Amino acid sequence: MSTWTLKEKSTGELAVTVEGEEWKNAVEKAFNKIAKNVTINGFRKGHAPKALLEERVSEAEREAQAVNDNANEWMRKALEENKLEPISQPELDVKSMSADKAELVFTFAVEPEAVVKDYKGLPYHMDDTTVTDEEFDAELNRMRETYADLQTKEGEAEKGDTVNIDYEGFKDGVAFDGGKAENYNLELGSGSFIPGFEDQLIGVKAGDEKELNLTFPEDYHADELKGAAVVFKVKVNEVKTKVLPEIDDDFAADVNIPNVSTAEELKKTVRERLENNKKNAAEQKADNELMDALVAKVEVDLPDVMVDEEVQNQVNQLAAQIQQYGMSLTQYLSMMGKKPEDLKKDYHDQAEKTVRLRLGLAAVAKAEGLEVTEEDLENQYKEIAEQYSMDVEKVRNLINPEMLKKDVLNQKAYDFIKENAETGENK
């Protein structure tokens, strides 16, 4: 006999009572198992008369062994009876054991069923995706900057010019480590050096020598220089200025964009790219806002284990990303001055939001009777194979079909919500 009692955070207790012949048989088998390893003087191990063995093996030992041997099977049957699927490791509490019966309680979390009300008519508002002339010109100028030539300038250095300098820094009259370089190219206005350094070089000419009196920022990375007053002795070797190329056919060829060979084709391509980028950014923003609106409608009692698992998923994703740069998660945390528990705390709110969204989408799919067909799955396999340049069969073998089915169903639910959203444009 078993009963399920759901408590807070989708965690409940499955009470299982084992009695009658089932319990007696389990205790008898447990006794026989223990008896095989009992040694009594004058008899081979396990071969003493049953009466002597019964005196040696207590009822409590037999009952405890019976529970230990059969608890998983009793729980499995009870789960089937109550149609339950634990999402956390069940914890066993033996409430009582006697000659007649055993009362067990298994505590675990189950996936909660979310309720989503008023999911139709949620706002889906796009930002304006028009590319202005100013944005278009700025992008062309950025490209011109990329292909600009540096030419020697005879006059004074201006903001945007590049000066080639030798410099050395002194603190209290003594040169400090890392404060010296020769033939260094510095673009004035780039913000590459500490505040004031570049500003004081505006107006210099080739051959000038100048002393710069500066103060390092209080948050400078080197402790010995934080807030320190210093002097940089600078010699200007050369002043160079940028010469931007004209937007002509030669420039279009230098940019080396496929199917672009003229200035007009370049301008058309640049505008289309800007329009696509703006559209994608606007769609992403609108999608995120729509998902936030859906999450706010989700009513669910989340078990901690689901949030914890999603936090770990996000930590694992971060570890995989930084590993591509040859860095371990431990090294990353050390560099950021964080502990593993700090990182998990940072991810907690986003993880909870992700789980709520997933459960909310599942609830909408159920409410609308959405289903995933074999064709849907096959198309998804092909899309993944194309994305990662893999064979479809290999993708099919690598991916859990049930997990993929859930992902596709959630996508269908989101598409439904988006199709039934209140559309418009953000002002």
Handedness of CA 141, 143, 149, 152 (dihedral sign): positive
Contact indicator for 355, 310 with CB cutoff of 8 Å: yes
Question: In this structure, are residues 2 and 37 in contact, taking their beta carbons and an 8 Å threshold?
Answer: no
pLDDT in tens, 124-136: 999 999 999 999 9
On the 0-12 / 13-18 / 19+ scale of CB atoms within 10 A, 146 is: exposed
Confidence label for 394 from pLDDT (cuts 50, 70 and 90): very high
Q: How confident is the model at residue 50 (pLDDT cuts 50, 70, 90)?
A: low
SS3 string of 263-303? HHHHHHHHHHHHHHHHHHHHHHHHHHHHHHHHHHHEECCCC
Question: How far apart are alpha carbons 347 and 300 in whole angstroms?
Answer: 20
Strands (E), 21-111: 91-97, 101-109
Q: Quick one: average pLDDT of 342-362?
A: 95
Q: Is the pLDDT of residue 427 over 60?
A: no
- Asked if residue 36 has pLDDT above 70, the reply is yes
User: Average pLDDT over the chain, rounded to whole?
Assistant: 92
Judged by DSSP in three states, 379 sits in helix
CA atoms within 13 A on the CB side of 31: 18
Residue 276 CB partners (closer than 8 Å, separation 6+): none
> Angle 410-411-413 (CA atoms, 0-180°, nearest 5)?
65
For 93-104, write each residue's pLDDT tens digit: 999 999 999 999
Predicted local confidence at residue 33, as pLDDT: 87
Q: How far is CA 350 from the centre of its chain?
A: 9
Whether 51 shows a pLDDT value over 80: the answer reads: no
- Closest Cα to residue 25, out of 66, 71, 69? 66
pLDDT tens string 279-328: 999 999 999 999 999 999 999 999 999 999 999 999 999 999 999 999 99
Tokens of 205: 């000419």
CA atoms within 13 A on the CB side of 419: 6
Over residues 181-196, the pLDDT tens digits come to: 999 999 999 999 999 9
Q: Are 178 and 206 in contact (CB under 8 A)?
A: no
Percent of the chain, pLDDT > 70?
A: 94
HSE (side-chain half, CA atoms, 13 Å) at 160:
8
| pLDDT for 34 | 80
The phi, psi pair for 213, rounded to 5°, reads -95, 115
> Long-range contacts made by residues 266-270, C-beta under 8 angstroms, separation at least 24?
267/140, 270/136, 270/139, 270/140, 270/143
Give Cβ neighbours of residue 102 (< 8 Å, ≥ 6 apart): 17, 18, 19, 23, 63, 66, 67, 94, 96
Instruction: Tally Cβ neighbours within 10 Å of residue 393.
Output: 10
pTM confidence score: 0.73
Chain segment 156-165, per-residue pLDDT in tens:
999 999 999 9
pLDDT digits (tens, 9 = 90+) for 250-262: 999 999 899 999 9
CA 305/CA 12 separation, integer angstroms: 13
Tens digits of per-residue pLDDT, 7-21?
Answer: 999 999 999 999 999
Q: Which of 33, 13, 135, 185 lies closest to 86, judged by CA?
A: 13
Euclidean distance between CA atoms 63 and 66, whole angstroms: 5
Q: Are 164 and 178 in contact (CB under 8 A)?
A: no
Pick the closest to residue 17 from 100, 108, 107, 109 (CA basis): 100
Rounded to 5, what percent of the chain is helix, strand, coil? 50, 20, 30
Residue range 65-89: mean pLDDT, rounded: 95
Residue 373, Cβ neighbours under 10 Å: how many? 9
pLDDT tens digit string along 195-240? 999 999 999 999 999 999 999 999 998 889 999 999 999 999 999 9
